C-alpha cells in the first residue's frame, strides 16, 4: 500500500504545503538521549524547494531539541498526515541543517521563502530548517482520524509580538542555548 517516491513532485509538494500541521522528529547520537517529536503548525511555513529540498520556518519554542540534534548529526524526518479528505501519511527523511539569520546562506534562503509567501523576518522565527531529502514515502493513513480544522492559534504571534525582538533574543539565550540532553543549540 505504501509507496517510495523518487523525489517530491509538484502534486506531492502541493499536498505537503497545504497540510495545516506537520511533525518533525530527530534524535541525538547517544542511546541515552531523548528522541524528539515536535508538532508544527503550518501557517505558510513549510516549503518544498525542489524534488529533494524542503525547508520550514522554525519558530522560537520552549526547547531547541531539533536544532541541537541537527547540529550534532543532521538526521531528521518530517511527517504529514491527512486529517481530512482521503487518508494519507507522508514521511520525508533527510539530512537537515539549521540556518540562522547570521549565517551566510540565510539571505538567499530567506528571500526564496519570502517570494513564496513566507515571513522569515517574523519576530518569532529563530531559524530556517533546511532538509536535503534522502527518502520520501507514503502510507495508507487508515488509522489517522478525521478531524475538522478550525484554524491556527494566534498565541505564538501574540507572544512573540509582546516580547519583541530583544525579548525573544533574551528568551532564546535563556531557554534555547542547550538541549535537554545538554547538547549545544542556539548561541
**What is the domain extent for residue 7?**
3-175
151: left (phi over 0), alpha (psi -120 to 50) or beta: left
The CA distance from 5 to 93, in Å, is: 11
- Would you give the DSSP letter of residue 145? P
In a domain, 183, yes or no: no
pLDDT of residue 117: 96
| CA nearest neighbour of 72 among 102, 100, 110, 33 | 33
- Is residue 185 assigned to a domain? no
At residue 136, the pLDDT reads 98
Residue 169 located in a structural domain? yes
- What pLDDT is stored for residue 187 in this prediction? 84
pLDDT digits (tens, 9 = 90+) for 56-100: 999 999 999 999 999 999 999 999 999 999 999 999 999 999 999
| Whole-number average pLDDT of the chain | 97
Tally of structural domains, the chain? 1
pLDDT at 177: 96
Residue 162 is assigned to a structural domain of this protein: yes
By the 10 Å C-beta count (0-12 exposed, 13-18 middle, 19+ buried), 80 is classed as buried
- The per-residue pLDDT for 1 is 62
**Is 85 inside any structural domain?**
yes
Q: Is residue 72, in this structure, part of any structural domain at all?
A: yes
Q: What is the CATH classification number for the domain harbouring 43?
A: 2.30.110.10
pLDDT along the chain (187 residues), means of 10: 93 98 98 97 97 98 97 98 97 98 97 97 96 97 96 94 96 96 95
Report if residue 154 sits inside a domain: yes
Instruction: Answer whether residue 165 is part of any domain.
Output: yes
Strands 46-50 and 36-41: unpaired
Amino acid at each position: 500500500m505504501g509507496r517510495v517516491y523518487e523525489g517530491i513532485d509538484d502534486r506531492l509538494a502541493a499536498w505537503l504545503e497545504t497540510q495545516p500541521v506537520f511533525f518533525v522528529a530527530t534524535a541525538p547520537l547517544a542511546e541515552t538521549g531523548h528522541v524528539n517529536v515536535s508538532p508544527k503548525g503550518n501557517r505558510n511555513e513549510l516549503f518544498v524547494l525542489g524534488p529533494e529540498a524542503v525547508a520550514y520556518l522554525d519558530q522560537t519554542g520552549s526547547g531547541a531539541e531539533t536544532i541541537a540534534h541537527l547540529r550534532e548529526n543532521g538526521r531528521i524526518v518530517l511527517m504529514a498526515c491527512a486529517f481530512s479528505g482521503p487518508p494519507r501519511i507522508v514521511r520525508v527523511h533527510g539530512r537537515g541543517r539549521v540556518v540562522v539569520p547570521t549565517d551566510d546562506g540565510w539571505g538567499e534562503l530567506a528571500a526564496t521563502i519570502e517570494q513564496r509567501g513566507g515571513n522569515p523576518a517574523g519576530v518569532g522565527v529563530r531559524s530556517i530548517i533546511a532538509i536535503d531529502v534522502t527518502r520520501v514515502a507514503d502510507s495508507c493513513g487508515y488509522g489517522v482520524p478525521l478531524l475538522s480544522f478550525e484554524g491556527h492559534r494566534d498565541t505564538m504571534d501574540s507572544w512573540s509580538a509582546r516580547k519583541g525582538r530583544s525579548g525573544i533574543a533574551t528568551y532564546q539565550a535563556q531557554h534555547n542555548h542547550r538541549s535537554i540532553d545538554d547538547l549545544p543549540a542556539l548561541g
